[in-house]
Amino acid sequence: MAGINALRTINHIFSSGHHGAQCAPYAVLCLILFLTGCEQRPLVYQQQVLALGTLVDISIYGVDEQQAAKAVTAVTNSMEAIHHDWHAWQPSKLTYINEQLAAGNSISLNKEQQQLIQTGISLARQSKDLFNPAAGKLIALWGFHSDERPGTAPPSETDIKVLVKADASMSKLTLDNNQLSTSNPEVMIDVGGYAKGYAVDQAIDELRRMGINNAIINAGGDLRAIGAKNDRPWRIGIRHPRQAGVIASLETQGDESVFTSGDYERYFEFNGQRFHHIIDPRSGRPAQGTSSVTIIHRDASTADAAATAVFIAGPKQWRETARAMGIKEVMLIDATGTIHMTEAMSQRIHFEFDNKTTKTIIVP
């Protein structure tokens, strides 16, 4: 608005001055400056929906509003279907599968179910079982199989030991053709560690099938971004695990997922002590030493599982676990606030605040 007023002032000077004709090109130049200023802000269709038990932020660029709105509805429905089918504690396909496994029966799975279970088996193997979707009983023991865990006492040492000893792991599952069975009835599948990534991957595939090649699906802070907006890459902020605001930012390249696991996401407090939801299958207790892990990787399922596995691996073993899972870009912020990251990650992210006082360790 003020721009137009300024132009009017310029025109007024021109029309009253002696050199009006000579100056007209300048006026045109000014006008062009303003026009390009407007055009550089591309129109992104953005909508928030409640899905996957969280807020999902969908950004779409490059198609008309009607098509974008249609796409948002479609992917919301499919994410909700995945959430519903694989819910860990409300009656679902998954709770049925778990009942059958506990009873020693084998179950026939459809294509989609096989794909999700197979993905879980191979991700667990890559992580050497630090990422363990078969340890559902441990998660349930800690009370995280509820929407809001009340601040009651953590489980007893005896109960924890029994479940750690039971050694429930994905390698105890056999998927033969479409038949799933287990040699260990203590196995209880909980896809919470990678279902969000899986749902985001499915949603991105669906968008592409609808002809949308520039989009972000941000499921409660974990996201996959494809394409760009008008030749400019998508800009992603990474929130600080201990303070308000953004710690770093990055620009996505083509097709990438950015996933973070943090001890602040789900937790309960008892007698002044905080217990978070990322359970180390080796100790049966919340993993120690890490406050958050951020992963950049192409597919969201792997990024999701790797964020959990690297978090559990901790400040001493994180690099090894990331390498085993084929992850190049990793940032781990440990419990003391020290930032550990791979060289590849350090080249991608830009710190948004003065981090001279923060200890940063970069490894190849």
Partner 1 sequence: MTRADKIVVALALLLLPFMYIEFWGNSSQGEVVQVRSVNSEGITLPLDQDKQLEIAGALGSSLIEIKDRQVRFIDSPCQGKQCITTGWLQKNGQLAACLPNGITVQIIGRDQRFDAVNF
Instruction: Using CB under 8 A, list all residues that contact partner 1.
Output: 2-3, 6, 9-10, 13-14, 17-20, 22-23, 26-27, 30, 33-34, 37, 40-41, 44, 48, 50, 53-55, 57, 59, 147-148, 216, 218, 221-223, 225, 229, 234-239, 246, 249, 258-260, 262, 294
What's the rounded Cα separation, in Å, for the pair 68 and 52? 20
Element (H, E) at 246: strand 246-251
Pick left, alpha or beta for residue 177 (phi over 0 → left; psi -120 to 50 → alpha; otherwise beta): left
Residue 60, phi then psi, degrees to nearest 5:
-130, 135
- Least CB distance to partner 1 at residue 183 (A): 38
Decide: residue 158, CB within 10 A, 0-12 exposed, 13-18 middle, 19+ buried.
Answer: exposed
Q: For residue 214, which amino acid is it?
A: N
**Residue with Cβ nearer partner 1 (26 or 96):** 26
- Least CB distance to partner 1 at residue 284 (A): 25
- Least CB distance to partner 1 at residue 185 (A): 33
**Residue with Cβ nearer partner 1 (182 or 198):** 198
Q: Which of 172, 165, 127, 141 lies closest to 282, judged by CA?
A: 165
- Least CB distance to partner 1 at residue 327 (A): 15
**Residue with Cβ nearer partner 1 (168 or 310):** 310
**Residue with Cβ nearer partner 1 (186 or 222):** 222
**Residue with Cβ nearer partner 1 (3 or 286):** 3
- Least CB distance to partner 1 at residue 238 (A): 5
**Cβ-count burial 85-100 (b if 16+ within 10 Å, e if not):** bbbbbeeebbbebbee
